[in-house]
Amino acid sequence: MSETTNENIRVLPMLALRGVVTFPKMVVHFDVGRGKSIKAIDDAMNTNQTILLITQRDILVEEPTYKDLYEVGVISKIRQVIKLPSGGVRVLAEGVCRCKCLSFAKTEPAYYAECEAFEEIVTRCSAVNKDALLRHTRVLIEEYAGLISKMPPDIVKTVLSSNDMGFIADFIANNIPVDIDDKQYVLEQYNPQKRLKIVISLLEREKQILKIDAKINQTVHESMDENQRNYYLHEQLKAISEELYGGNDPQDEAEEYVEKIDEMKMSQDIKDKLLKEVDRLLKMPSGSHEATVVRNYLDTCLELPWGIFTESKTDIQKSQKILDRDHYGLPKVKQRMIEMIAVHSLVPKVKGQIICLVGPPGVGKTSIAKSVAECMGRKYARVSLGGVSDEAEIRGHRKTYIGAMPGRIINAIKIAGSANPLILLDEVDKLDSNYKGDPSAALLEALDSEQNSTFVDHYIDLPFDLSRVLFITTANSLDTIPSPLLDRVEIIEISSYTREDKFHIAKNYLIKKQLKEHGLAVKTCKITDEVVYKLIDNYTHEAGVRNLSREIASLCRKTATKIVSGESKKVVITETNLKDFLGVEKFKPDVVLDTDEVGFVNGLAWTAVGGVLMQLEVAAVKGTGKLVLTGSLGDVMKESAKTAVTYVRSKADEFHIDSDFYKNLDIHINATEGAIPKDGPSAGVTMVTALVSCLTNTPIKHDVAMTGEVTLRGRILPIGGLKEKSMAAYKSGIKTVFIPIDNIPNLEEVDELVKKNVTFVPAANVSEVIMGALVKKQEMPISETIGKTFIVPNLDVAVTSTAVSQ
């Protein structure tokens, strides 16, 4: 790859080294990880294996420029290239000659540099001066070798056997641990005599540093000997004091440990290992650090519930009552828990039932696990995994480390006091990984029913049986959970609570709980049903009920203040005086327009806090065919808009729309509440309906909402979250909701109150939705400025045949 304008000027692939300086005739090996550097090596190997190695000034620079490199480098031959598992390569190269980097020839996809090779500058040097320099160098290298430990003898032999001043200078500079700047300074010298003098000064300096270092080490060693002597005398004094004044007998302590070990229900192998630790403790001075470590280890091991099991309860009817008492709704979750309890009644030693409850915050995942523990009569322990980034937090530290302790799982077993407790691994999706390890990988053994019978914590270093432990994990999202860990658990999704769910939870649980906690009773504080609905609609906006509980607690606090101050003996909170307690409303409920509008349609969306009404509006203005999308739309929703436009173009004749509208008009699709990000394909039906309404100047019924994904041929695909979306439609006053025909089975999950007040119209094709949602038979001029009039199609089509009215 070299171009020659001059015999000594060449263009070669260049590799910028970090923290390494190469020399001619020296072999160097280094690892390469940067993409440009790997490409430069590949180019060199594909030509004549020649490459320019040059050192960069700052090792932290990832993309070095010409100013970031030293001017002098070495033209080298690549002798070997080995690919590493990390994706990088390990290179073995041999220097050929010094060169000066003149400029960069190119920087992409790899660095190429224009460089000029230099010959050695030979100056007159008498034989006497040469011999003096070489002799002085050899004496210095021998003295240096005597001061430094583990210096290869071949280095001294090479220096003693060579008479080439330039080679000796390069060889010594390459093999002594001096700064990079000093090595580069040696490399930049083309005069062998001057180069050797610089190396001699470096050797003199290094020799002085080594002498000072040896003196410091000797002083430290003498100090340590003195400390050991003092420790020995203190131990003798301690033994004499115990003989004179009495003390604890180590033999008694050892016998106590032996008795405890014999009483434990553990295997003989584990007992033997613990007895060896007792023997070690007996041979150690009682106050030594090592004895404290062994004593803490034995105490921890003996506190574990080896072979201690609680008897599981399997009363299905009683378990159902407990679950219904503590939680409203959640039929699928309760059914799965009852099934698990039933299986345990038939197979007490069943393995492999590890459940992961997934849902938004505040829906009761943690409390469900606590209720299940009560149902089964098991001890309960909770392990919070949020923010855990150290693998040792899960599997413990080696007991030899200072401050070592067992991992969180073994610690939970110890706190529970049973070998078959219910352990809740909370927030498993919040685990983090860094240079300390991956804690999610450490959980794999604990959650694998085929492996956890011999789970080994690093601290106790003994196999502990976790197969009888019932693990329940919780997570807000599955996206951050590694797939191997996800494969070991059974996923149970808990959706957000609907408006009616929150109302019943507040009436049956939250109000009673907060009244009791604040010292109130129903006689002194009354919260009406209208207030509860107001709190849900206008003061909270969440998937769970945590904020709702806080608002109720705020009402109780203010009520307690009025009663204690003597202002009132009984407080009734109604819809009219609610603002006096909580201030102005924080949220406004979704409302629909009172009139039918052109290009304005009610869509339904699902969010982490439940279903919401998402209103879309479309405008068509004279232009050049641009499609403008606003309202914080995500990529999937933008693609749905493009699909909607293409579908309307394909059906322009059927809808009596000008087939060139996409050329003559600019279409603007906007989703209201632009500050809130929106994404997903289920707005396809909404966009198509709004487009047809706008292009035909036909109003859309204001009390109609819709949801569904649309294909290019108009087919409506099923969507998720129908339960939450239907509740949002009901709250907003929607009378008719168009849904995909494939979602008819999901109507069973819809709240009964919603079914009584909302008519659901399943549709297989978007044309059915258009005919049912648009106001029938109107003529409209889409734009007088364009000079064209479009006729609305006959929309007199009955849709009641497919209506599912509940």
Known catalytic residue: 725?
yes
- Residues 54 and 22: their CA atoms lie apart, in Å, by 8
Catalytic residue among 682, 726, 732, 783: 682
Q: What is the dihedral of CA 171, 174, 178, 182, to 10 degrees?
A: 90
| Number of CB atoms found within 10 A of residue 806's CB | 12
Asked whether 320 and 334 are in contact (CB, 8 A), the reply is yes
Taking the C-alpha atoms of residue 707 and residue 698, their distance in angstroms, rounded to an integer, is: 20
Residue 626 CA to residue 757 CA, distance in Å, equals 41
Q: Of the residues 379, 502, 725, 731, which is catalytic?
A: 725
- Helix residue ranges per DSSP H, 423-464: 439-446
CB 388 within 8 A of CB 439: yes
Cα separation, 532 vs 548, in Å, equals 9
Smallest CA-to-CA distance from 727 within 574, 607, 635 is with 607
User: Nearest-CA neighbor of 562 among 542, 536, 580?
Assistant: 580
User: What is the C-alpha to C-alpha distance for residues 72 and 116, in angstroms, rounded to an integer?
Assistant: 10
What's at 6, amino acid-wise? N
Strand pairing partners for 779? 791
Q: Report the C-alpha gap between 483 and 489 in whole angstroms.
A: 10
Q: How many of the other CB atoms lie within 10 Å of CB of 24?
A: 19
Q: Where are the alpha helices (DSSP H) in 702-774?
A: 722-732, 752-757, 766-773
CA distances from 1 to 6, 8, 75, 758 (A): 15, 15, 14, 76
C-alpha to C-alpha distance for 770 and 693, rounded to whole angstroms? 8
Neighbours of 301 (CB within 10 A): 26
Alpha-carbon Rg for the chain, nearest whole angstrom, is 40
CA distance 461 to 297: 10
Q: Distance between CA 790 and CA 567 in Å, rounded? A: 69
Q: Which residues are catalytic?
A: 682, 725
